[in-house]
Amino acid sequence: MSLSDRIIVPLDVPDLKAAFDLLDQLPEVGFWKVGLELFIAAGPEILAELKRRGKRIFLDLKLHDIPNTMAGGVRSAQAYDVDFLTIHAPAGQAALKAAVDAVADAPLKLLAVTLLTSLSARDLAFDLHVSLELPDYVLKMALLAQASGVPGIVCSPHEAAQLRQICGPDFLLVCPGVRPPWATAGDQQRVMTPAQAFQAGASYLVIGRPITQAPDPQAAWQRLGAKL
Ligand code: C5P
Instruction: Name the catalytic one among 62, 97, 109, 140.
Output: 62
122 has pLDDT over 90: yes
How far is residue 215 CA from its own chain's centroid? Answer: 25
* Cα separation, 40 vs 152, whole angstroms: 25
User: Distances from the Cα of 174 to the Cαs of 38, 112, 158, 168, in angstroms?
Assistant: 20, 10, 12, 14
36, 175, 178, 206, best to mutate for ligand 1 pocket (most atoms within 8 Å of CB): 206
**Cβ-contact 29, 9 below 8 angstroms:** yes
Check: pTM over 0.85? Answer yes or no.
yes
Angle formed by the axes of helices 157-167 and 134-147, nearest 10°: 50
pLDDT in tens, 59-112: 999 999 999 999 999 999 999 999 999 999 999 999 999 999 999 989 999 999
* Cα separation, 175 vs 74, whole angstroms: 21
Half-sphere exposure of 54 (CA within 13 A, CB side): 4
Q: Is 196 touching ligand 1 by the criterion CB < 6 Å?
A: no
219 has pLDDT over 80: yes
Q: Is 12 touching ligand 1 by the criterion CB < 6 Å?
A: yes
* Cα separation, 55 vs 188, whole angstroms: 27
pLDDT in tens, 140-182: 999 999 999 999 999 999 999 999 999 999 999 999 999 999 8
Atom in ligand 1 nearest the alpha carbon of residue 209:
1
9 has pLDDT over 80: yes
Q: Is 151 touching ligand 1 by the criterion CB < 6 Å?
A: no
* Cα separation, 182 vs 162, whole angstroms: 27
Residue whose CA lies nearest to ligand 1 atom number 15: 176
Hey, what amino acid is at 63? L
Residue 54 pLDDT: 97
- Residue 60 Cα to ligand 1 midpoint, Å, equals 10
Q: Is 176 touching ligand 1 by the criterion CB < 6 Å?
A: yes
pLDDT in tens, 22-49: 999 999 999 999 999 999 999 999 999 9
- Residue 187 Cα to ligand 1 midpoint, Å, equals 10
Residue 65 pLDDT: 98
CA angle 34, 151, 162 (to 5 degrees): 100
Does the annotation mark 55 as catalytic?
A: no
CATH dotted code for 3-221: 3.20.20.70
**Cβ-contact 59, 77 below 8 angstroms:** yes
Residue 225 pLDDT: 87
pLDDT in tens, 201-217: 999 999 999 999 999 99
Residue 3 pLDDT: 80
- Residue 177 Cα to ligand 1 midpoint, Å, equals 6
- Residue 117 Cα to ligand 1 midpoint, Å, equals 9
Residue 119 pLDDT: 87
**Cβ-contact 88, 63 below 8 angstroms:** yes
**CB contact set of 181 (below 8 Å; sequence gap of 6+):** 193, 227
pLDDT in tens, 150-160: 999 999 999 99
**CB contact set of 6 (below 8 Å; sequence gap of 6+):** 31, 198, 203, 204, 205
